[in-house]
Chain A
């Protein structure tokens, strides 16, 4: 152990002395986002649940069980393993927050289950999750990079892939139901999780980039290679997982486009270029709208026939302009 020879002075965390302003910024946003599943009126989905076929119900339970596994890993292993690598005490505190919210996420799927499903159905899905080779393969691939003594920056790569890529084969389904006006309260809960994961992926990706700055050119090359080969490995597993789950309802190809789109975003969180070409990432507009309701898409540039004139800004007098 590194501290045996020269024990370091135990230090209290001082939030009024910040080394990395992003620690405070992200802490503030994460604490403002805090939620628990009890705040979401899941029971309003009971009727909607009954309109799903038995196969659709089983698929939904399995998908949520798969998501529960990833959150369980990130709460119990992923976030805690990165605490030891933290560059600042505040980063460690942010990781505490992340670990706890992952536990809330994992817990919230059980709230959905107890509201909508029978115990036998849920028990069957948990058994399935332990036996499904693809789900197990991705969990193991991630856990390997989290192992004690592992490379701290590789840990962050795997973590960003979990946060920003691996969840999305699962998140697709509640967004799909929501776009058809089904399970809309459940979708509200999932959107809270998606928002949290966006900040987690952003923050761990940022810390990865900061860590990279201190590395040699050779090490940077090694890490980039590791990132892309891990992405290939995980994508291979995810594609099979998606086919197995979604072929039955004819959505496998759509889900894969969604995977490509999210894989690119995960790579961007690490500061890398996208991997999949735009034609492979054409996610259906209904899914995009389900992700960000009420925020129209803006493309004034290619809006054909637009007669909008680009105008001058209106002069505003006040000194301190309040946005």
Chain B
């Protein structure tokens, strides 16, 4: 069964989304001074987008720190991106960046703290992952 790791800044949208999912989840700390929590085995990452005007820096620095560790990167089995569609072409861009870099699927994207539809879809999707390959890693055959 895949674990859940997420990042959420002071605005707390992603945190509220994860709380409504009602599953065990590990939070990447906001402050770089705080230690990184242990990795919950194979996991799905939920990550908001904070790009500049050109789309640079879409992935929050603390998430980059988390992924900079090869072991934690190897545990990643998919990414769910958050954002706000009103940012235009960079909507939920962090998910695309992470998916490309880590060669994992971009599973889903949602806006702000998500709607009940988002919660239902992500819940169903995460249950499905439990039955799939996440617990028995195998190489990509896209």
Contacts and interface: CB of A to CB of B under 8 A. Distances in A.
B46 interface: no
A5 B64 CA distance: 50
B73 A313 contact: yes
B89 A313 contact: no
Contact of B108 (A291, A294, A298, A309): A298
Given A277-B116, A309-B141, A310-B132, 5 more contacts: A265-B84, A292-B88, A298-B81, A309-B142, A311-B103
Interface stretch (A109-117, A136-144, A224-232, A300-308): A300-308
Interface string A91-119: 00000000000000000000000000000
16 contacts: A22-B9, A32-B53, A198-B87, A265-B84, A271-B12, A292-B88, A298-B106, A298-B109, A309-B133, A309-B142, A310-B132, A311-B103, A311-B138, A315-B73, A323-B58, A323-B101
* Best-surrounded residue of A209, A269, A299 (most CB of chain B within 10 A): A299
Contacts of B133: 309-311
A323 B97 contact: yes
B70 A292 contact: no
B104 A311 contact: yes
A103 B88 CA distance: 22
A278 B97 contact: no
Interface stretch (A150-158, A189-197, A234-242): A189-197
A264 B115 contact: yes
A321 B115 CA distance: 33
Interface of A: 20-22, 25, 28-29, 32-33, 191, 194-195, 197-198, 202, 205-206, 209-210, 264-265, 268-269, 271, 274, 277-278, 281, 288, 291-295, 297-302, 308-317, 319-321, 323
A269 B112 contact: yes
A300 B86 CA distance: 22
A312 B95 contact: no
Nearest to A297: B109
Contacts of B105: 300, 308, 310-311
Given A33-B53, A309-B133, A209 B11 contact: yes
Nearest to B81: A298
A293 B88 contact: yes
A309 B86 CA distance: 31
A198 B76 CA distance: 30
B52 A274 contact: no
A-B pairs with the 10 shortest C-beta distances? A301-B125, A311-B140, A198-B86, A292-B91, A295-B91, A268-B112, A32-B53, A278-B117, A313-B102, A312-B137
B106 A313 contact: no
A265 B12 contact: no
A315 B13 CA distance: 31
Contacts of B108: 298-301
A198 B58 CA distance: 16
B8 interface: no
Contacts of B128: 301
B137 to A, nearest CB: 4
